[in-house]
Amino acid sequence: MKVEVANVSDIERRITVAIPSESVASEIDKAYIDLKKNVRLRGFRPGKAPIPILQKYFKAQVEEDVISRLVKNTYPKALDEVKISPVSQPKIENGVLEKGEDFFYTAVFEIKPDIDVQGYEGLELEKEKIEVTDDDVEKQIQALRNSHAALKDVEDRAAQKGDCIVFDFDGTVDDRPYPGNKQNDFFLEVADDSFLPGFSEQVTGLKKGDQKTFSLAIPGDYTNKDLAGKTVKFNILMKEIKEKVMPDVDDEFAKDLGEYSGLEDLKDKLKESLTENKRFRSEAGLKEKIFDILIEKNPFEVPKSMVEMQVRNMITDTQQMLKSQGLKIEDMGQSVEQLSEQYMAPAERQVRSALLLEAVAEKEGLAAEEEDFEKQYQQVAKQVNQDVGFVKGKVDREMLRPQILERKAIELVISKAIIT
């Protein structure tokens, strides 16, 4: 077997593989022998059909099968011979299969870019100060009160801000059906940011049994691009109005929320949680600033296949998150294709950032030690709320190596940075 490599671009390679005529003939003969054993032709006993007859009726099928086997058997060996690791599935172009002749095929695929990463030492960075005030804790307590409020049916007044309402609706967007079109018993809390811009103002003041038709002009910068800048018309029927009855903030309230000894214990735990969340956001913000700088200082072409794979992962995560809430992407007025388009830019940034950290790790000779794997397993176990032993049984350690090296690369960049 002979293999030649051509550079199509910095991230694309084409290999041409030549398979000797002897190997080609052997595979063709083997294919017809196997076919002869299994095929049934009228006028011939099983296994007795002459090869020329088989060639007459099955030549195209045999050639297709032989080419498939030749490529499948030689492609991994060819990559190993030229020491190339693709990051995409190959686009195979087959030559002509002819007994007595060498068989040629080409494979085009993407590889990771070769990055000589620069500018990661001595970065001047600002890190958000971690501070949790009593006011922060109080806001969290009020949010807990709101989420644990009882709902009391209202019969004698109109809907107002803070109420929860149940209604039927049908809608149109620029005279076309609104995503989901008709909904019955739709539940909504009346708040400024509920549903669509301006919707809460339209339902405020309605009483049980009221019907209303109204239009909303959606701002051009609205997050849902399918609705941005368009007019949505609704017909609604108010069916129920429910008032929120807030619980008192006392020791019993705290105990009802979980394993808290009382109100002060709840406040202490909330402060710890808020501090941890702020620390996480602070570190995440610092990482994003590092990525901004490294991306600006190290331009390179990103393999399209890696971006597409990251988009698929993001779509899967979104689907799983929505499924846990009993929803689908379509329920959010989106399609998989639309969401894929929205995810393309952030997916490219994530891939670009990961490749840069990988380049830093390689340039600095960083390695994943045994203690790093243990630490990573513990972190994963905490994230999925499972025992470490269970996680080790489910997650191959080699899947953790990239995460470990990325973390160590970030830690190295931060250790060399000037942080205020």
The DSSP secondary-structure symbol of 111 reads B
Domain end point (choices 291, 316, 349) = 349
Q: Is residue 20 part of a domain?
A: yes
Return the amino acid letter for 355.
Answer: L
Q: How many residues does the chain have?
A: 420
Same domain (yes/no): 372, 419: yes
Q: Is residue 359 part of a domain?
A: no
Same domain (yes/no): 100, 39: yes
Tokens of 276: 């941890």
CA distance from start to end of the chain = 59
Q: Which of 352, 203, 365 is nearest to 292 (CA)?
A: 352
Return the amino acid letter for 191.
Answer: A
The DSSP secondary-structure symbol of 248 reads P
Same domain (yes/no): 276, 404: no
Q: Which of 210, 118, 196 is nearest to 159 (CA)?
A: 210
Tokens of 11: 């991230």
Alpha carbon distance 91, 275 (integer Å) = 51
Between the CA of residue 146 and those of 50, 248, 263, what are the distances in Å?
A: 83, 11, 16
Alpha carbon distance 337, 327 (integer Å) = 17
Alpha carbon distance 414, 91 (integer Å) = 41
Same domain (yes/no): 91, 140: no
Please tell me the predicted confidence (pLDDT) of residue 179.
72
Q: Is residue 358 part of a domain?
A: no
Place of tokens 């958000």: 128
Enumerate residues 6+ apart whose C-beta is below 8 A from 223.
none
Alpha carbon distance 338, 200 (integer Å) = 27
Same domain (yes/no): 83, 232: no
Q: Is residue 80 part of a domain?
A: yes
The strand pairing partners of 168, in sequence order, are: 237
Same domain (yes/no): 72, 219: no
Between the CA of residue 355 and those of 20, 112, 276, 379, 412, what are the distances in Å?
A: 38, 8, 28, 22, 16
Helix or strand holding residue 107 (H, E): strand 103-110
The strand pairing partners of 151, in sequence order, are: 244
Alpha carbon distance 177, 405 (integer Å) = 50
How many domains does the chain fold into?
Answer: 5
Alpha carbon distance 405, 420 (integer Å) = 25
Please tell me the predicted confidence (pLDDT) of residue 180.
65
Please tell me the predicted confidence (pLDDT) of residue 47.
74
Backbone angles phi, psi at 233, to 5 degrees: -110, 135
Domain end point (choices 205, 226, 245) = 245
Alpha carbon distance 393, 417 (integer Å) = 38
Same domain (yes/no): 410, 283: no
Q: Which residues of the chain have a pLDDT value below 50?
A: none
Q: In this structure, what CATH number is given to the domain that contains residue 223?
A: 3.10.50.40
Q: Is residue 414 part of a domain?
A: yes
Q: Is residue 401 part of a domain?
A: yes
The strand pairing partners of 108, in sequence order, are: 14, 91
Return the amino acid letter for 190.
Answer: V
Q: Is residue 59 part of a domain?
A: yes
Alpha carbon distance 192, 227 (integer Å) = 18
Q: Dihedral of CA 157/158/159/161: which sign?
A: negative
Domain end point (choices 215, 245, 275) = 245
Helix or strand holding residue 176 (H, E): strand 176-189
Same domain (yes/no): 144, 191: no
Same domain (yes/no): 70, 19: yes
Cβ atoms of 163 and 190 within 8 Å: the answer is yes
Same domain (yes/no): 182, 294: no
Q: Give the HSE-up count for residue 106: Cα atoms under 13 Å, Cβ half-sphere.
A: 10
Same domain (yes/no): 280, 195: no
**Strand stretches in 190-304, DSSP E:** 211-217, 231-245
Q: Is residue 357 part of a domain?
A: no
Greatest CA separation for the chain: 93
Q: In this structure, what CATH number is given to the domain that contains residue 72?
A: 3.30.70.1050
Q: Give the structural domain span for 408.
A: 364-420
Same domain (yes/no): 177, 218: yes
